[in-house]
Amino acid sequence: MSLEDASENLSRRVGCAIKPSDIMGLTFKENARMISRLADLSDAQLVDSLKGLVARGRAVTAQVLVHLAEVEHRQLHLAAAYASMHAYTTRHLGFSDSEAYDRVHAARAARKVPAILDMVADGRLHLTAVRLLAPHLVPDDPLELLTAAAHKTKRQILQLLADRAPKPDAPERVRRLPSPRPKPDAGQQDLLAVASADPPQPPPQPAARPEPPRPRPSEPQPLGADRYQVQFTASAALVGKLAELRALLSHREPGCNIATAIERAVDTLRADLLKERFAVGAKPKKSPTGTKKSRARTRHVPADVRREVVARDGLRCAFVDPETGRRCGSDQRLELEHHVPFARGGAHDASAMSLYCRAHNAFTARRAFGAEQMALCIAERQTTSTNQAPRRARSADSCRNES
C-alpha cells in the first residue's frame, strides 16, 4: 500500500468521525456542559465513549504522522526558520520533547513503510514502538517485525529487539562512590557543585518526605540569579588535570576553586575556537592579494569578513522566514553562507553573507541548486573525505558554504 493510499484510508476513517468543530469549536462553557453530561452516563456508556475517543485520537495521530512526513519532505520547517523537525514540532506545534521525538521518528518510518499508519490508527502499535522498531525494519519484509511487535508494551518491545539482536555485555566499570556520602571537604565540594559562589546547603529533609523527581544531571540547575549547580561524573584523568590546572593557576589566583579553574579553561578554549572558526581575536594580516576581486578566486573566506559576519549575526543562525519574520537562532554547527552561491560568482563580502546553521545552509543550497545536484555534491564530498587526510576532510567541511 502506498503512502497516498494509506493516507486516503485514514482520511475516510477520521473524516467521518471528527469534524474540526468537534475539537476546535468547543467553548469553555460547552466543555463544562460536556463534563456535566458525562455524569449522566452509565459506567458502560462512559467506557464506550472513552474508547471511541481513543480510537479517533489514534486515527488522527496517524494523519498527523502523514502530515509531518510531508512537511519534512517539503522542508517547510526549514522555511519557517526551524533548524530541525524536533524544533518545529516542539516550538511551533507545541509538542513536548518526548512527544515530538516519537512523532518525528514515526513519521519518517511511516513514509518508508506506510503500513505503519494503519497499525498506529487501529492501536496495534504505539508511537514509541514505531520509533524503537524503525531502525530494525528489514527493507524486504518490514511487516514481519511490526506484526511481531503488535500490541506489545515498550518494555516487551525492547526485550523483543534484544532477543533478536543481542548486544555485547556492558563493559565492567569500577567507580568509586561515597557510601554513605561523607561531608565533602572544600575540594570535593567543588566537584559536586560547581558554581560562581558556594551554593546554600538545603535544609535536611524529613525521612518520610517523598523525594521530588530528580532533574537530568547534565542540565545546570539554577541556584540563584547568577549561580548554577552543575553535576557530572568526572574521569580520574580529568580530576588529575583539574588539580594540575589549579596548581598552575595558584600563583595567579591563590585559592582558586575548581569552578574558577574550569571557567579559565573554557575561556581559553572558547577564544581558540572563535579564532579558528571565525577569526575572532586574530590579528589582521595585510595580504598582497587582499582585493575583493582576487578574494573571489579562492573559497577561503578572509578573516576580516568572517569576523564581520560573526559580529553582526552574533553566533546564531540568521536565517529568517520571510513570511513570519521568525529567525532560526540556532547556535549549533554554524557555517558561513553566501547569499549568491560562491559557485555562481558570490563574493566573500560580509554584506552578501550570513551565519547559518548547517540545516539552513544546506536548505538554501538545495533551493539554489536543486536536491539532485546537492545529493551529487554530497556524495562527491563524502568520497573525497574518505580518501583524504582528516585535515583535508575538515577543510572540505568548513567549505560547505561554497554553494
CB 132 within 8 A of CB 158: yes
Burial degree of 40 (CB within 10 A; 0-12, 13-18, 19+): exposed
Q: Does 80 bind Zn ion (CB under 5 A)?
A: no
Residue in 77, 348, 358, 360 binding Zn ion, rule: CB under 5 A: 360
Q: How far is the CB of 403 from Zn ion (least distance, A)?
A: 15
Stretch that binds Zn ion, among 30-38, 77-85, 182-190, 274-282 (CB under 5 A): 77-85
Nearest residue (CB) to Zn ion, 83 versus 310: 83
Q: Does 362 bind Zn ion (CB under 5 A)?
A: no
Q: How far is the CB of 257 from Zn ion (least distance, A)?
A: 37
Q: How far is the CB of 74 from Zn ion (least distance, A)?
A: 17
Q: List b or e across 343-378, with b for residues whose CB sees 16 or more CB atoms inside 10 angstroms.
A: eeebbbbbeebbbbbbbbbbbbbbebbeeeebeebe
The number of residues that bind Zn ion (CB under 5 A) is: 7
Nearest residue (CB) to Zn ion, 86 versus 124: 86
Give me the residue label for grid cell 468543530.
21
327 phi/psi in degrees, rounded to 5: -100, 140
Residues 318-357 that bind Zn ion (CB under 5 A): 319, 328, 330, 357
Q: Does 358 bind Zn ion (CB under 5 A)?
A: no
Nearest residue (CB) to Zn ion, 310 versus 357: 357
- What is the enclosing helix (H) or strand (E) of 4? helix 3-17
3 state SS of 338: strand
Residues 97-126 that bind Zn ion (CB under 5 A): none
DSSP state of 76: H
Binding mask 284-323 for Zn ion (x = CB under 5 A): ---------------------------------x-x----
Q: How far is the CB of 324 from Zn ion (least distance, A)?
A: 14
Q: Does 82 bind Zn ion (CB under 5 A)?
A: no
CB 133 within 8 A of CB 119: no
DSSP string spanning 219-257? S-EEEETTEEE---PPPHHHHHHHHHHHHHHTTTSTT--
CB 78 within 8 A of CB 322: no
Nearest residue (CB) to Zn ion, 132 versus 355: 355
Q: How far is the CB of 319 from Zn ion (least distance, A)?
A: 4
Nearest residue (CB) to Zn ion, 102 versus 313: 313
CB 185 within 8 A of CB 191: no
CA of residue 291 relative to chain centroid, distance: 40
Residue in 65, 68, 83, 305 binding Zn ion, rule: CB under 5 A: 83
Residues 161-200 that bind Zn ion (CB under 5 A): none
Nearest residue (CB) to Zn ion, 76 versus 249: 76
Nearest residue (CB) to Zn ion, 190 versus 335: 335
Rounded CA-CA distance 402/397 in Å is 10
Q: How far is the CB of 372 from Zn ion (least distance, A)?
A: 23
Q: Which of 74, 55, 59 is nearest to 8 (CA)?
A: 59
Q: Does 279 bind Zn ion (CB under 5 A)?
A: no
Residues that bind Zn ion (CB under 5 A): 83, 317, 319, 328, 330, 357, 360
